[in-house]
Chain A
């Protein structure tokens, strides 16, 4: 393989463990560099903009609590997606599963507005998680029964979910006293998640998200089911020979992810929002895909990656308010981050070598190195 500037990629003998974790850092750095260039091109001082984007949002305790609020839904979706992706089940549907969780949770919450039983809120949360799981059960059923590609079905279900949400806020769940705005009535206090710190929006959902991280870590690394999921993802045939029921695992990972994403949705409406609105999610389900990859499908990595992603959302809002930059920058940064990550991942299996003089000699070493590799190993 030949790249310009006399920089050569040559295959490493084995995957570099260091690069597996260094690659996200490189991607982050590259995104920052490109971001600065972009800010400069927009006529803003890059350093001041970066400061406003990444430091200012976290300059006080309130900022940190807002970060936790933003991270909560992303984290819930991302750990679920990690379980799916570990099994090579390409669930792109966390967004739709989140929206269904928010929708069904809100519907139940609105019908419980008049009663004040202590179990109302747990019931609403369960309904949201259940709705997310049910939405994920559709691609699970279609994949295991009809061999249908889950990438396409989950994406279609995202759009269907979004339209159902729109239908609900314009129709059956619309607040009759809401001046014709497409949103539901505000939930009663008994149906709202308790706030953890006085004066902030930090709510119990953040605790759920942390619990989900721990539970996912235990599931993936400490249980036989987790082992089966990993084997299924690495080699379907081995999983088959070992007697693992692939279909059952597909169901399991999709239902788990759906439930977590559904919980994320209902946590948003019963937490920071307090009612059902069309903009429940600014693409949390899609951002979670990036977070899952950035965190190397590892719960702890995902925790850090979600903090970064949450900061991207907060920073995007901050530069909009402070410097009048467009909110679309957040999406742009997200895409760049994933792109750079995928590109720098090549360094896990390859190393960069700067070719100086006598390229013939270097080529010879490349050949001798790659000869040891089994065919087909990148």
Chain B
């Protein structure tokens, strides 16, 4: 393969992995606090449609884009607030509520986005970092991305630091491990969980906007195409650790653009069959990770998915 193709593949890998990384980071924080939210698809689509509509009306440059991204995060967070209310305040089953959020988001986003199908925007353009982006190979792969790529990496670093060295990070982990003990210590379990769920929603909304403003700057029904679910598997793959989530996101990104790679080898396979690859890889990765039961249990937050009712 020629170096240009390799650079293109690596560049596309990072772009494709970025929305997965954003969702995974959000869900990681949410799960660390002990809440299992399966509503990523719904939140992502709402973020995508909200971001797109905002950018369409406010203009897709400068302040318009910033507002669009903020609105996308707000849309994701609002959706997750709905989930937080029925699971945390009303104690509904987290699995069923997450599914409800996804089904609701699928319907609501296609309803809201109805008048915007088929419109294209310029979207968010990459920043070519001066000098650095002129480097051979590395310039294209590392220094010619859109700002959200750098934001996702900065957020990963921030979260790694947050969980390793801050008191707040410790509190989130304590709430996820044992809400009873955390409450006994006087920690506001519900408030921590609400905030974690909201953060997850905001990040997922942003990931949606990445799809509709960067990756393919347009709105199409159900355009998240299962990425939310893949990101969920990614959190398991990362064994709830931030560093591994970054690696995992790019690995899954690479799998999703295998058509580019295979093109380099001049292998022609039906695009429909190639499209199954990321899902197949997800299953394979889950199998590898789950087989060792003791190990996988070691990393999952102990109270993940279990309802908790604070004492009166």
A-chain residues with CB within 8 Å of residue B280 when the two chains form the complex: 156, 160
Check B54 for interface membership: any CB of A closer than 8 A: no
Nearest to A1 among chain B residues (CB) is: B89
Check A332 for interface membership: any CB of B closer than 8 A: yes
Contacting chain A: which of B21-29, B158-166, B181-189, B271-279? B271-279
List residues of B (271-309) whose CB comes within 8 Å of A's CBs. Answer: 272-273, 275-276, 279-280, 282-283, 286-287, 290-291, 293, 296, 307, 309
- The DSSP consensus for interface residues of chain B is helix
- The DSSP consensus for interface residues of chain A is helix
The answer to whether B104 and A328 have CB atoms under 8 Å apart is no
Closest beta carbon of chain B to A44's beta carbon, Å: 14
Nearest to B93 among chain A residues (CB) is: A342
A-chain residues with CB within 8 Å of residue B282 when the two chains form the complex: 152, 156
List residues of A (120-158) whose CB comes within 8 Å of B's CBs. Answer: 142, 146-149, 151-153, 155-157
B84-101 interface bits toward A, Cβ cutoff 8 Å, 1 = contact, 0 = none? 011001111101110111
B-chain residues with CB within 8 Å of residue A142 when the two chains form the complex: 283, 286-287
Closest beta carbon of chain B to A256's beta carbon, Å: 20
CA separation between A289 and B105, bound complex, in Å?
15
CA separation between A370 and B310, bound complex, in Å?
12
Closest beta carbon of chain A to B268's beta carbon, Å: 13
The answer to whether A146 and B291 have CB atoms under 8 Å apart is yes
Check A100 for interface membership: any CB of B closer than 8 A: no
CA separation between A1 and B86, bound complex, in Å?
13
The answer to whether A328 and B114 have CB atoms under 8 Å apart is yes
Check B82 for interface membership: any CB of A closer than 8 A: yes
The answer to whether A159 and B276 have CB atoms under 8 Å apart is yes
Nearest to A85 among chain B residues (CB) is: B96
Nearest to A143 among chain B residues (CB) is: B290
The answer to whether A339 and B86 have CB atoms under 8 Å apart is yes
Determine which residue in B103, B229, B275 has the highest number of CB atoms from chain A within 10 A of its CB, and name it: B103
Nearest to B274 among chain A residues (CB) is: A163
CA separation between A269 and B226, bound complex, in Å?
26
Given A155-B229, A160-B279, A163-B276, are A332 and B108 also a contact pair (CB < 8 Å)?
Answer: yes
CA separation between A333 and B100, bound complex, in Å?
11
Nearest to A378 among chain B residues (CB) is: B91
The answer to whether A338 and B99 have CB atoms under 8 Å apart is yes
When the two chains form the complex, which single residue of B100, B114, B233, B293 contacts A339, counting CB atoms closer than 8 Å?
Answer: B100
The answer to whether A339 and B90 have CB atoms under 8 Å apart is no
Check A79 for interface membership: any CB of B closer than 8 A: no
Closest beta carbon of chain A to B262's beta carbon, Å: 16
Check A329 for interface membership: any CB of B closer than 8 A: yes
A-chain residues with CB within 8 Å of residue B225 when the two chains form the complex: 159
Contacting chain B: which of A164-172, A183-191, A257-265? A164-172
Closest beta carbon of chain A to B226's beta carbon, Å: 5
Nearest to A343 among chain B residues (CB) is: B86
Nearest to A286 among chain B residues (CB) is: B103
Check A293 for interface membership: any CB of B closer than 8 A: yes
List residues of B (43-89) whose CB comes within 8 Å of A's CBs. Answer: 82, 85-86, 89
When the two chains form the complex, which single residue of B38, B107, B236, B283 contacts A334, counting CB atoms closer than 8 Å?
Answer: B107
Please list 8 pairs of residues, one from A and one from B, whose beta carbons are closer than 8 Å in the complex, sorted by A's number.
A1-B309, A156-B283, A170-B272, A290-B103, A330-B107, A342-B86, A343-B90, A349-B91
Chain A residues engaging chain B, CB cutoff 8 angstroms:
1, 3, 9, 90, 92, 142, 146-149, 151-153, 155-157, 159-160, 163-164, 166-167, 170-171, 286, 289-290, 293, 326, 328-336, 338-339, 342-343, 345-346, 349, 363, 366-367, 370, 378
List 8 other contacts, CB 8 Å, given A147-B290, A160-B279: A3-B89, A142-B286, A146-B290, A147-B293, A153-B286, A326-B111, A343-B90, A366-B312
Chain B residues engaging chain A, CB cutoff 8 angstroms:
38, 42, 82, 85-86, 89-93, 95-97, 99-101, 103-108, 110-111, 114, 221, 225-226, 229-230, 232-233, 236, 270, 272-273, 275-276, 279-280, 282-283, 286-287, 290-291, 293, 296, 307, 309-310, 312
Q: Which 3 A-B pairs have the closest CB atoms?
A: A335-B104, A331-B107, A167-B272
